[in-house]
Amino acid sequence: MPDADFENRHFPSADGATPMMAQYLALRESAPKDALLFYRMGDFYELFFEDAKAAAAALDIALTKRGEHQGEPIAMCGVPAQTAEAYLARLIRAGFKVAVGEQTEDPKAAKARGSKTVDRAIARIVTPGTLTEDSLLDARTSNRIAALARTPGGDCALAWAEVSTGEFAACPCDASGIEAELAALDPAEWLSDEAYFTADARLAPRARLTPLPKAKFDAKSAERRLIERFGVVSLDAFGAFSKAEIAALGALLDYLELAQAGAPAKLAPPRRVETGSALAIDPATRASLEIDRTQAGQRKGSLLATIDRTVTAPGARRLAARLTRPSTRKDMIDARLDAVGFLAANKTTRRAMRELLQAAGDPERALSRLLLGRGGPRDLAALGKALREGETLAAGLGQALPDDAAPALLNQAVATLSLTDKGDLARFAADLGQALVAEPPLAARDGGFVAEGWSEALDETRALRDASRKIVAGLQKTYAEASGVAGLKIRHNNVLGYFVEVTAKNADPLMASDDFIHRQTMANAVRFTTTELAELEAKIAGAADRALGLESEIFESFRTRTEDLAQGLRQMAGALAELDCAAGLAEWAVETRSVRPDMVEEPVFAVESGRHPVVEAALKKAGDAFTPNDCALDGAGEAAARLTLVTGPNMAGKSTFLRQNALMIILAQAGCFVPAASARIGIADRLYSRVGAADDLARGRSTFMTEMIEAASILNQAGPKSFVILDEVGRGTSTFDGLSIAWAVAEHLHGINACRALFATHYHEMTRLAEELDHAANVSLKAKEWKGELVFLHTVAKGAADRSYGIEVARRAGLPDAAIARARTILERLESQDAPAAALADLPLFSATPAPSAPAKPSEVERRLTDINPDELSPREALDALYELKRHLPAKDT
């Protein structure tokens, strides 16, 4: 590493005042305080002082010392530049930010101008929300960064961007909706006014929060920045943005440009997302319904993973966006359903499309890397391929679509992907096809990606280089003959260039010759050069340099073209994602026999033979079938009850039933078919699910407190268009407390919120509500006893469960017989009294049932029963035996 050596000699000596130290300290000063500084030295990124200690600990790499600063040894560690991405990924995951300080001049140039240091500058700040490297991102998940702004008047807005795709958008939100909006966006990082820092930290616990000074959220300067960046006279061109939205967009833009070391952010023009255009789903509901990840945090086992049949990463990201933010607009939902419906019905078209889509890959992220100056030849190739596959797709799909009733979304995609009316893009695609080799390398710096025939100048230089290489190859034979050493070899390395090598015992003839100049003696070999070789070497190196220069010019010209064509390329990528999403959903719908939901504005819900997609998939793997169930609700209380109480034994399928209907709402409003025989669904504005309650220790709340906070948010927010599922509310406290609360919550939902609600409870007493309230009903999950076992049928039937099977479940779980018998007595007692508390007060502790500690002695009846062998009895004998047994029954005590 001659570059690094050159500087290392100048690295801090005892006085600490070397030029390089001064440069390091200045760079450290200019980088953000909360970022580690990667300081490029030759082939390594080095870290010093506290940065080194933190990074060495996080990466588990050696911490060394180098020189001294103010009398103290300087801590240092380093990572090879070649593999720096992997280390960056680990640091980002561990919660760090990294400022990358690059060399901005050639060390030779620095030496030539007499400087003792190479110039360096911060090239980029890597943060969780600003990643673009494929290796640092999950291809099928979006990586967003969000900013929350509040105006002095109290208006709030969220802006978000995805650097790797160029998405840039904002939406208004009221203070109570921030958590739900953030949960929908699921950003990796988010920015907020530092004045609110502590209050905000809890809003998006999975994301890294970066507090910014208040001034960054100033709406006036934000507007100026946006107008300048997007080259418009007024932001109205993009929509009617509020002050808060502009402030949020501006702060975000500023932060992204800072992360790019001042380079302009390459984002699509800002898009305004209407409030209320998405189904509001708060974080607790998201978690409980396991929409895009399970409660354990995994994608596998979530609704998204279960229905995802997309074949490309952008398609997967589009589907995730849909599912996490289902729409409330009927026209949009219907348009999406139209597309899915057409593709579900046209298998051949769908299959052909999916094959082409798969070949089209991920042009979105390739484009963004190119625009950010981080792209390579492979990204160019990806764009060219996507354009060509898209064109083929458009032609095929265009033909398959009927003239009159083609789904609008598919028509649009065909129009976007077709290149016939887009000369620039068509030329770009054709040029890329010719200019690039079949499998271009990732990075442009080593060349070798421009195909033969694209540039005459390049071909000539390459020919020259190759011709010289051939001559070198020929020289080996010539030299071997001339010297009489048959084993003579011509080799190459970076230090000597081309050289002649012979074994030590064959060295003498060459040593004696004037033509061979001795260069090196190794353990077993001796190396020589010749003037001829040196000349060829220079020729080859010159030609290779020239070829590299030409290739990088060609790369640059294509890169500039992507800038000019950015909008068209983005639209093309968007259309491919849209098609993949629709075709994937169609594939899933066919596979699972799902149907198109009939979407209406009235608050109804009528599902016939509905299924839980995730539970069904899991059962199917185990070879079991899912039992479909109907569900009917009507917020108006006309076609069906508004509130339905769900009872039944534990494990009978209550939670599953509740969730499957909530998922039906999400799927339908996301534009997916639903797993049912038929479904008529009134579009919901908010969806709530509270299933069970787990301790939220991270937030320092008890189970019960969590439950009540969650219930409160529903009762305070749900309206006539909302859909609520509640499971076992009030479980976390004493029976009477819990029952009273559950009762009151149900009444409130029914009378005040007037929303559609499914309410599962183990409080049997609550089934009386169906009689007392106008629009409430009971359903229950059926179970039957068979051969002394409880068998769950998983069927939902009208009416309340006839009894609680809790004790039976406890018996199956292996509670001792004595405890079970005791529980039965207590239950009988409780159920026979109007005032259960009184019943408990005079519950005989030792009389009615045998004490739990002693195993029960068999009774006379039991003894006699044991002696009977039914197979040996005639019907007459059996009847006699029955009378006999009955006579021996003990007198019933009361």
Q: Indicate the annotated binding residues.
A: 648-655
Report CA torsion sign: 23, 27, 29, 34: negative
Q: Tell me which residues in 599-618 interact with ligand ADP (CB under 6 A).
A: 615
Each residue 560-599 as x (binds ligand ADP by CB under 6 A) or -, in order, gives: ----------------------------------------
Ordered DSSP codes for 248-298 = HHHHHHHHHHHHTTTPPP--PPPEEPPTTSB-EE-HHHHHHHTSSS-TTS-
d(CA 255, CA 250): 9
Q: Closer to ligand ADP by CB, 166 or 653: give it.
A: 653
Comparing CB distances to ligand ADP, the nearer of 158 and 666 is: 666
Nearer Cβ to ligand ADP, position 363 or 648?
648
Least separation in angstroms between residue 628's CB and ligand ADP is 7
> What's the closest the beta carbon of residue 588 comes to ligand ADP, in angstroms?
20
Residue 26: CB atoms within 10 A of its CB come to 11
Smaller CB separation from ligand ADP, 579 or 783: 783
Q: Tokens 């380079």 belong to which residue?
A: 263
Asked if 337 and 671 count as a contact pair (C-beta separation under 8 A), the reply is: yes
Q: Which is nearer to ligand ADP, 127 or 627 (CB)?
A: 627
Q: Dig out the tokens for 219 from the structure.
A: 């709406």
Number of neighbours of residue 176 by Cβ within 10 angstroms: 13
Element (H, E) at 876: helix 875-887
Q: Which residue from 310, 362, 355 is spatially nearest to 569, judged by alpha carbons?
A: 362
Measured on CA atoms in the order 132, 135, 136, 139, is the torsion positive or negative?
Answer: positive
Stretch of 89-97, 409-417, 583-591, 646-654 lying at the interface with ligand ADP (CB under 6 A): 646-654
Q: Which is nearer to ligand ADP, 18 or 629 (CB)?
A: 629
Choice between 208 and 654, CB closer to ligand ADP = 654
Find the binding residues for ligand ADP in span 616-645 (CB under 6 A): 619, 626-627, 629
Residue type, 496: L
| 663 SS3 class | helix
**Is-contact 499 492, C-beta < 8 A?**
yes
Nearest approach, Cβ of 289 to ligand ADP (angstroms)? 13
Question: What is the CB neighbour count within 10 angstroms for residue 424?
Answer: 12
Count of chain residues binding ligand ADP (CB under 6 A): 14
Cα(710)–Cα(282) distance, integer angstroms: 10
Contact 394, 414 (CB under 8 A): yes
Does 288 help bind ligand ADP (rule: CB under 6 A)? no
Please state the closest distance from residue 714 (CB atom) to ligand ADP, in A. 19
Nearest distance, CB of residue 795 and ligand ADP, angstroms: 8
Q: Residue holding tokens 């011509």?
A: 490
| Beta carbons of 633 and 644 less than 8 angstroms apart | yes
Spatial contact of 794 and 651, defined as CB atoms under 8 Å apart? no
Secondary structure of residue 883 in the 3-state scheme: helix
- Strands 525-529 and 517-521, bridge-based pairing: antiparallel
State which residue, 349 or 647, has the beta carbon closest to ligand ADP: 647
Q: How far is the CB of 656 from ligand ADP (least distance, A)?
A: 3
Instruction: Please say which residue, 140 or 794, places its beta carbon nearer to ligand ADP.
Output: 794
Contact stretch for ligand ADP (CB under 6 A) within 515-523, 577-585, 647-655, 804-812: 647-655
Which is it for strands 35-41 and 97-103: parallel, antiparallel or unpaired? parallel
Would you say 455 or 627 has its CB closer to ligand ADP? 627
Q: Assess contact for 127 and 210: CB atoms under 8 A.
A: yes
Asked whether the beta carbons of 646 and 760 are under 8 A apart, the reply is: yes
Binding-site residues for ATP, in ranges, read 648-655
Shortest distance, CB of residue 626 to ligand ADP, whole angstroms? 4
| Residue of 848, 850, 886, 891 lying closest to 865 (CA atoms) | 886
Looking at the Cβ atoms of 642 and 654, the one nearer to ligand ADP is: 654
Instruction: Show contacts with ligand ADP in window 736-795 (CB under 6 A).
Output: 794
Q: How far is the CB of 296 from ligand ADP (least distance, A)?
A: 16
Torsion angle of the four alpha carbons 712, 714, 716, 720, in this order, in degrees rounded to the nearest 10: -160
6 membership: H or E segment, kind and range = helix 2-8
Crossing angle (nearest 10°) for helices 330-345 and 566-591:
70
Q: How far apart are the first and last CA of the chain?
A: 97
Shortest distance in whole angstroms from residue 291 CB to ligand ADP: 18
Ranges within 789-828 binding ligand ADP (CB under 6 A): 794
| Residue 96 contacts residue 35 (beta carbons within 8 Å) | yes
* Residue with nearest beta carbon to ligand ADP: 653
| Minimum distance of ligand ADP from residue 761's CB (angstroms) | 11
**Is 323 within 8 Å of 291 (Cβ atoms)?**
yes
CB 784 to ligand ADP: min, Å: 15
Give least dist CB 764 to ligand ADP, A: 14
Q: Report, in Å, the least distance between residue 301 CB and ligand ADP.
A: 12
Nearer to ligand ADP, 653 or 675 (CB): 653
d(Cα 842, Cα 849) in Å, to the nearest integer?
14
Residue number, 545 or 624, with CB nearest to ligand ADP: 624
Q: Could you tell me the smallest distance in angstroms from the CB atom of residue 654 to ligand ADP?
A: 3
Q: How many other CB atoms are found less than 10 A from the CB of residue 651?
A: 16
Nearer to ligand ADP, 322 or 731 (CB): 731
In the bound complex, what is the minimum distance in angstroms from residue 611's beta carbon to ligand ADP? 7
Site string for ligand ADP, 13-32 (x = CB under 6 A): --------------------
Q: Pick from 326, 272, 293, 340: which is nearest to 578 by CA? A: 340
Are the beta carbons of 279 and 684 closer than 8 angstroms?
A: yes
Using CB under 6 A, which residues numbered 650 to 709 contact ligand ADP?
650-656
Quick one: 227 or 651, whose CB is closer to ligand ADP? Answer: 651
Which of 736-744's residues contact partners 24+ apart within 8 Å by CB, and which partners?
736/837, 738/763, 739/763, 739/765, 739/766, 741/708, 741/711, 742/766, 743/769
Residues at the site binding ligand ADP, with contacts judged by CB under 6 A: 615, 619, 626-627, 629, 648, 650-656, 794
